[in-house]
Amino acid sequence: MTNQREIFFWTKTAERLERLREEAELESTGRPGRFELCRSSDAAVGVCRLPLVLSPFEPRDDDEPGPHWIILLQAGAASLGVWQPDGLVRHKVIKKYVVRGKGRAQTLHAKTKGKSRYGSRLRLQNAERLLIEINEKLITWQKELGKPRQIFTSCPVRTWPELFAVDVKPPFEQRDSRLVKIPVDVHIPSFEQLERVVRFLERGEIVWQE
């Protein structure tokens, strides 16, 4: 069995869906933005993934995407962005020295090995400062551009609660309904990784099974 794959930009979604409905029925998979392509009573013959910058279940003709926030966070590095229909309109990369020589994040190491040495204290301070700078930047963007429609995130499970534990809180709740995990692997946050994630969020995909 071979697969025929097509990628389309978010602005072409309505047009592509109209053509797609002439070829197959779209059945929801229960996952936001994903549909099985079916013909008569046969099993699924393909799958369609809509661009995540659109409505997560069914885009409308009057659907106006954005603004969306993108938060890429790992130990010692963060890459933030604001996406609007014109593309990436704001971005910020923040890096701090928080990783020990063996590559272990200091916040995790301190829970088991203590905090006595100067280097350890410095790394902990930097880790906290990184989170505060992230939240300060998000607060500024919300004041300038308004609340985001969706918040796309890539962050280790253990690190995410720490974003809400510092003195300056982010302008959303830890379990905000707008939060969407980015369904692709992200390397160390950088502007290049931010651009890579944006390209994924802007594009949909149709895969036919033949």
- Domains in the chain: ranges and CATH: 3-63+203-209 (no CATH), 68-199 (3.30.420.60)
- The pLDDT, as a whole number, for residue 112 is 46
For residues 90 and 29, which has the higher predicted lDDT (pLDDT)? Answer: 90
Mean pLDDT of the chain, nearest integer:
86
- The pLDDT, as a whole number, for residue 166 is 96
Q: What is the pLDDT of residues 156-207, one digit of tens each?
A: 999 999 999 999 999 999 999 999 999 999 999 999 999 999 999 999 999 9
CA distance 183 to 180: 9
Across 125-145, average pLDDT: 95
Q: Encoding tokens for residue 103?
A: 């590559």
- The pLDDT, as a whole number, for residue 147 is 94
> Is the per-residue pLDDT at 65 higher than 60?
yes
Across 84-113, average pLDDT: 72
- The pLDDT, as a whole number, for residue 30 is 82
- The pLDDT, as a whole number, for residue 209 is 84
- The pLDDT, as a whole number, for residue 198 is 97
∠ Cα 113 117 120 (to 5°): 70
CA distance 127 to 99: 9
CA distance 166 to 174: 13
Helix (H) or strand (E) holding 34, with range, is: strand 34-38
Q: Which of 73-82, 97-106, 111-120 has the highest mean pLDDT?
A: 73-82
